[in-house]
Chain A
Amino acid sequence: MSITLGIIEGFREVWTHKFRSLLTGIGVVLGVASLMTMFAITNGQAISFRKGFELWGGVEKVFIIDRPVPEEQESIRDQSPGRSYADVIALRKAPFIESVSPEIRLKRGGAIEYQGEKFYSRWIRGVESAFLDVENYELEVGRFITEFDQQSRTRVIVMGRQIKEILFGQQPEEELLGKQVLLNGVKFRVIGFLKPFNNRFKDSVAVVPFLTMQELFFSSNVVKGVDLGPIRRVDRIIVKIRDAELLDDSLEQMRNILLQTHNGVEDFGFRTSEGWFETVESSVKGVRLSGFIVSGITLIAAGVGITNIMMASIRERTREIGVRRSIGAGQWDIFVQICMEALVLAALGGIAGLGVGFAMVDLFKEMLSEYSVPVLNSQAVVISFIASVFIGFLAGVAPAIQASQMKPIEALRFE
């Protein structure tokens, strides 16, 4: 019997036993639907994670952080000036480095006020123009902080969408340029707004010129009634390297430069996102694998159900098999017939499972919209369907072999 005819016979048999087929098929429906949903959810997680990672700055973004000096350098620890603007100037000359962004921030936080509306944040920063490049921000309206602003210590401020909405509500941003706001009581002029990321943390940023902040808020350091003079501190130095592939070489270059500016004292280190990236990637893989296993077990259980029903079915049809053998059907013909029947049953379950899967993915899109939206790709749909067909084939093999091995005369005499 040809495969095509086997499939037609399979449909006929499933149709004859509608209710039994429905019950048996439910397992496949659930298996395929869960496989598909799992694909979509983990895919969505991976996509949103990678997007978040890109937003954050990707592998190219490196923080220069403080580290305790090695033991053998304890005695010369005081030789190092610590993290300073000299580091920034030196790093900017390095060929592997694209841009360097120094930051200072108000230690006890700051408040921005406009006509009674107030926004408080610990993340109001003094930055230079490299900030945009390193932090992946783009300007939506107005202009950003320039070298002129640094030199003239202009009192200008650029802010993100979150702060703008708190201070100004829904007013168009174009009309807000030039407005005066108060930063810790000092008047600042709004010169620009950043493009929103639709991320609460990324959008509640406000920046002013680095040197303006330094002069305004760090010009004196009064300890026990004695002014020790201006603080030349740099809170953070963030570096964007040119090529993520050359991360190790770039770090080596940065280390050499910083050893120079720190007088040979290694009181600094680097924080890269490489490890973070790998951790999350591997946890996405882990979630995906466990999803596979759960759906796989469901599908195997469904397959066992099909095998079971097919075993009952061939027993019930022993005489039919005998008749078919007596009029010329070979063992292969019987094998194909039974195997195709199981396959048709599973494939019908698979198609229904795709339908249920689409519905479930939609449901999860609603439920997970705050986190990571499930994303279904055609590959997931195809793989889920093929899995059902494959399970059907596997489930059919044992009954098909048993049916094809029946002795014609015994099958024919079976009551």
Chain B
Amino acid sequence: MALIEVRDVHRVYRMGENEVRALNGVSLSIDKGEYVSIVGPSGSGKSTLMHLLGCLDVPTSGEIKIDDVVVTKASSGKLSRIRGQKIGFVFQSFNLLPKLNISENVELPLIYAGVKRSERRRRVKEALEAVGLGGRLDHKSNELSGGQNQRVAIARALISNPQLILADEPTGALDSQTGENILNLFREVNGRGQTVVLVTHDPDIAEETPRKITLKDGNVLEDLNKV
């Protein structure tokens, strides 16, 4: 059953006089529980696609459905709720808030979802324990290594138990061993039934996922399902 349906999506940026066609009629569909990588050279539109899938941006034309909701027609408030409940983001640069300690960072999505304080505490502890950081709840992100930071970010992405995890170059800022650990974590998450979409420019990483979608010049060049 399709979790994501993308139909003929265009995304055009205006940069002064110039038009940049980041996406040029992309159509694809991702089922629940899939582990997909989106690859392509820089400028191929993979980041743009991820932002559209994550409801952070809206396409110039075309339609995107997530879990049977047409997000291209949803209001700003509705999009916020979809982001909060159905999607978890993992960024290359972690995007943790430096003023908050790591448990407060992980807690944020639950605050915006209106979860009660006592329950928030419990779930944050569980989530950080699950990524192996149970002993560092009060640390700030600048006291942790890159790999640890990315695990905090993953804990934050998973905290509201979303159906879809979107990761944008999650290993880009990490050494290969740490990157490998992070990828193992994604595999585990996918093993529990959550859909994971990984955006990367690294072909080796893309080889690890069962399905690989290659973008070029804003179009799907190849959609390879190895299963």
The interface of chain A, by Cβ under 8 A from chain B, is 1, 5, 12-13, 16, 319-320, 322-333, 407-409, 412
| Interface segment, one of B29-37, B109-117, B185-193 | B109-117
Label chain A's interface by main secondary structure.
helix
- A394 to B137, alpha carbons, bound, how many Å? 37
CB within 8 Å of A: which B50-90 residues: 51, 54, 56-57, 76-77, 80-81, 83-85, 88-89
B112 adjacent to A328 (CB under 8 Å): yes
- A331 to B83, alpha carbons, bound, how many Å? 13
The 4 closest A-B pairs by CB, nearest first: A328-B84, A330-B80, A328-B112, A409-B57
A326 adjacent to B83 (CB under 8 Å): yes
Known A-B contacts A320-B97, A408-B57; the reply to A328 vs B76 at CB < 8 A is no
Which residues of B sit under 8 angstroms from A408, Cβ to Cβ? 56-57, 83
A326 adjacent to B56 (CB under 8 Å): yes
Which residues of A sit under 8 angstroms from B77, Cβ to Cβ? 330-332
A412 adjacent to B56 (CB under 8 Å): yes
B76 adjacent to A330 (CB under 8 Å): yes
Which residues of A sit under 8 angstroms from B145, Cβ to Cβ? none
Label chain B's interface by main secondary structure.
helix
B112 adjacent to A333 (CB under 8 Å): yes
- Give which listed residue, A322, A323, A325, A407, contacts B80 with CB less than 8 A: A325
Which residues of A sit under 8 angstroms from B85, Cβ to Cβ? 328
A330 adjacent to B112 (CB under 8 Å): yes
A-B contact pairs, 25 of them (CB 8 A): A1-B111, A16-B99, A319-B95, A323-B96, A324-B97, A324-B108, A324-B112, A326-B83, A327-B88, A327-B89, A327-B157, A328-B85, A328-B108, A329-B80, A329-B84, A329-B108, A329-B112, A330-B77, A331-B77, A332-B77, A333-B112, A407-B57, A408-B57, A409-B57, A412-B56
- A331 to B51, alpha carbons, bound, how many Å? 18
Q: How far is the CB of B43 from chain A (nearest CB, A)?
A: 15
Q: How far is the CB of A178 from chain B (nearest CB, A)?
A: 84
Q: How far is the CB of B124 from chain A (nearest CB, A)?
A: 13
The interface of chain B, by Cβ under 8 A from chain A, is 51, 54, 56-57, 76-77, 80-81, 83-85, 88-89, 95-97, 99, 108-109, 111-113, 156-157, 160
Q: Which of B51, B81, B157, B160 is the most central at the interface, judged by chain A CB atoms within 10 Å of its CB?
A: B51
Which residues of A sit under 8 angstroms from B160, Cβ to Cβ? 328
Which residues of B sit under 8 angstroms from A409, Cβ to Cβ? 51, 56-57
Known A-B contacts A330-B80, A331-B76; the reply to A12 vs B99 at CB < 8 A is yes
Q: How far is the CB of A162 from chain B (nearest CB, A)?
A: 69
Q: How far is the CB of A5 from chain B (nearest CB, A)?
A: 6
Q: Which of A320, A328, A407 is the most central at the interface, judged by chain B CB atoms within 10 Å of its CB?
A: A328
- A412 to B89, alpha carbons, bound, how many Å? 12
Which residues of B sit under 8 angstroms from A333, Cβ to Cβ? 80, 112
Add 10 more A-B contacts to A1-B112, A412-B95 (CB < 8 A). A16-B99, A322-B95, A327-B112, A327-B156, A328-B83, A328-B85, A329-B84, A331-B76, A407-B57, A409-B56
Q: How far is the CB of A236 from chain B (nearest CB, A)?
A: 78
A328 adjacent to B113 (CB under 8 Å): yes
Which residues of A sit under 8 angstroms from B157, Cβ to Cβ? 327
- A103 to B85, alpha carbons, bound, how many Å? 92
Q: How far is the CB of A332 from chain B (nearest CB, A)?
A: 8
Q: How far is the CB of B170 from chain A (nearest CB, A)?
A: 14
- A408 to B57, alpha carbons, bound, how many Å? 7
Q: How far is the CB of B59 from chain A (nearest CB, A)?
A: 12
Q: How far is the CB of A281 from chain B (nearest CB, A)?
A: 54
Q: Which of A324, A325, A326 is the most central at the interface, judged by chain B CB atoms within 10 Å of its CB?
A: A326
A327 adjacent to B84 (CB under 8 Å): yes
- A13 to B157, alpha carbons, bound, how many Å? 24
Which residues of A sit under 8 angstroms from B81, Cβ to Cβ? 328, 330
- A323 to B113, alpha carbons, bound, how many Å? 15
